[in-house]
């Protein structure tokens, strides 16, 4: 889905030097619709080339197209058609508003605007219709071509993807979930090594609140003027464990309709997205993978399933307290962050929400008219 002039959409990444930003830079290399044309980060990085500013954590080299880009500050003048935001939440809120007001579509990973009443919290496979709230957001805030769309917290992303077919087929009442969350979810440098080596930290600031609130919006409805919560009972316990990538979650679920374990497995296994979503470059036709082995999924073995975009489910069994319990795993930096924002951008490009902006070079070359 290229621009009307046949060129790729020009993407910028705010917070490009961080854990999520680096994933975005890597996912944008060789993307069929998007090209990376701008990067921004903190004062520590501005003015340096991306290669000099970044402490690269990913396998393989820094993508060639990113190496020589000069890291900019957070002024909304980046040379691109739209931006991904992977900024620390201390600066994300205002910066994302500044960019949206200046006409940039903003695809955000940060928590700041997720629960705003006119901002879509989007997982295309779950609530693609919530994108329609962009129209109301623009009207409310006086944005012209800009807007803000967010993706959920990393542990919510995998959980809600797995809950979606259960909600559709059986209806949901209550969810009790315990997470075992990877270190890369805390950014870099994250949790000090002496706190986490050979240990588990049973607290992640703000995480349980997000996991209890965000699914209500994601599994709820957009009625044309406001979001209506799903009204679920949710209780979450969140733990940090010494794993590099991949959040494991143990969930128990109370369904509205009685179901056998085979029916639950079948609902998960047969979950298939629309042809529109399956045709997006980052989309998977079957984004939930069900495993039969007793000891799977495991972060090291399964986090990259479906290029990191799948939610992997195992150990579907009866729950003596609620109805069904299961274990799920998703890659926190891909399905839970960079890949999620990329899929949102692809959906919005396909649906005509992006507009080409004049590039800074073309603008500078324009004759001055008096």
Q: Which of 30, 52, 75, 88 binds ligand NAP (CB under 6 A)?
A: 88
Kindly state whether residue 179 participates in binding ligand NAP, applying the rule CB under 6 A. Answer: no
Question: Which residue, chain included where needed, has tokens 């997205």?
Answer: 273
Helix H segments across the chain?
A: 19-28, 50-53, 64-67, 89-101, 124-127, 133-141, 154-169, 193-196, 207-218, 261-269, 275-278, 299-302, 339-350, 360-365
Q: What is the DSSP letter of 162?
A: H
Hey, what are 263's tokens? 């029916």
Hey, what are 83's tokens? 């931006």
Kindly state whether residue 45 participates in binding ligand NAP, applying the rule CB under 6 A. Answer: yes
Kindly state whether residue 306 participates in binding ligand NAP, applying the rule CB under 6 A. Answer: no
Hey, what are 357's tokens? 């902006």
| Cβ 319 to ligand NAP shortest distance, Å | 28
Separation between Cα atoms, residue 82 and residue 105, nearest integer Å: 5
Verify whether residue 331 is a known catalytic residue.
no
- Catalytic one of 130, 154, 238, 331: 154
Hey, what are 272's tokens? 């298939």
Kindly state whether residue 192 participates in binding ligand NAP, applying the rule CB under 6 A. Answer: no
Verify whether residue 57 is a known catalytic residue.
no
| Burial class of residue 266, CB neighbours in 10 A (0-12, 13-18, 19+) | middle
Name the residue number minimizing CB distance to ligand NAP: 18
Hey, what are 8's tokens? 């790729």
Q: Which of 154, 218, 313, 324 binds ligand NAP (CB under 6 A)?
A: 154
| Cβ 169 to ligand NAP shortest distance, Å | 28
Kindly state whether residue 17 participates in binding ligand NAP, applying the rule CB under 6 A. Answer: yes
Kindly state whether residue 181 participates in binding ligand NAP, applying the rule CB under 6 A. Answer: no
Kindly state whether residue 282 participates in binding ligand NAP, applying the rule CB under 6 A. Answer: no
Kindly state whether residue 93 participates in binding ligand NAP, applying the rule CB under 6 A. Answer: no
Interface with ligand NAP by CB under 6 A: which residues? 15-21, 41-42, 44-45, 74, 86-89, 91-92, 109-111, 153-154, 184-185, 187-188, 332-333, 336-337
């Amino acid at each position: 889905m290229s621009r009307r002039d046949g060129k790729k959409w020009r993407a910028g990444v705010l917070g490009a030097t961080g854990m999520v930003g680096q994933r975005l830079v890597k996912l944008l290399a060789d993307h069929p619709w998007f090209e990376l044309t701008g990067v921004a980060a903190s004062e520590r990085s501005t003015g340096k080339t991306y290669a000099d500013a970044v402490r690269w954590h990913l396998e393989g080299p820094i993508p060639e197209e990113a190496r020589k880009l000069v890291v900019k500050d957070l002024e909304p003048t980046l040379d691109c058609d739209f931006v991904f935001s992977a900024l620390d939440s201390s600066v994300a809120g205002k910066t994302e508003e500044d960019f949206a007001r200046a006409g940039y579509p903003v695809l955000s990973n940060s928590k700041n605007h997720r629960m705003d009443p006119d901002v879509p919290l989007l997982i295309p496979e779950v609530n693609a219709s919530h994108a329609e709230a962009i129209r109301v957001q623009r009207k409310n805030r006086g944005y012209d071509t800009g807007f803000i769309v967010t993706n959920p917290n990393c542990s919510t992303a995998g959980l809600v993807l797995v809950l979606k077919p259960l909600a559709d087929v059986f209806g949901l009442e209550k969810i009790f979930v315990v997470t075992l969350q990877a270190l890369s979810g805390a950014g870099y440098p994250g949790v000090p090594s002496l706190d986490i080596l050979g240990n588990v930290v049973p607290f992640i600031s703000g995480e349980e609140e997000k996991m209890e609130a965000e699914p209500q919006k994601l599994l709820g409805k957009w009625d044309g003027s406001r979001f209506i919560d799903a009204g679920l009972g949710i209780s979450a316990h969140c733990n940090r464990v010494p794993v590099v990538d991949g959040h494991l979650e143990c969930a128990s679920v109370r369904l509205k309709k009685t179901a056998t374990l085979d029916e639950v497995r079948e609902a998960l296994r047969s979950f298939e997205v629309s042809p529109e979503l399956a045709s997006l470059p980052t989309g998977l036709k079957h984004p939930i993978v069900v495993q039969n082995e007793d000891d799977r999924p495991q972060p090291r073995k399964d986090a990259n399933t479906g290029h990191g975009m799948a939610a992997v489910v195992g150990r579907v069994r009866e729950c003596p307290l609620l109805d069904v319990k299961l274990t799920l795993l998703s890659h926190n930096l891909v399905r839970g962050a960079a890949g999620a924002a990329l899929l949102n951008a692809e959906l919005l490009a396909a649906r005509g929400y992006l507009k080409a902006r004049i590039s800074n070079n073309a603008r500078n070359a324009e004759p001055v008219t008096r």
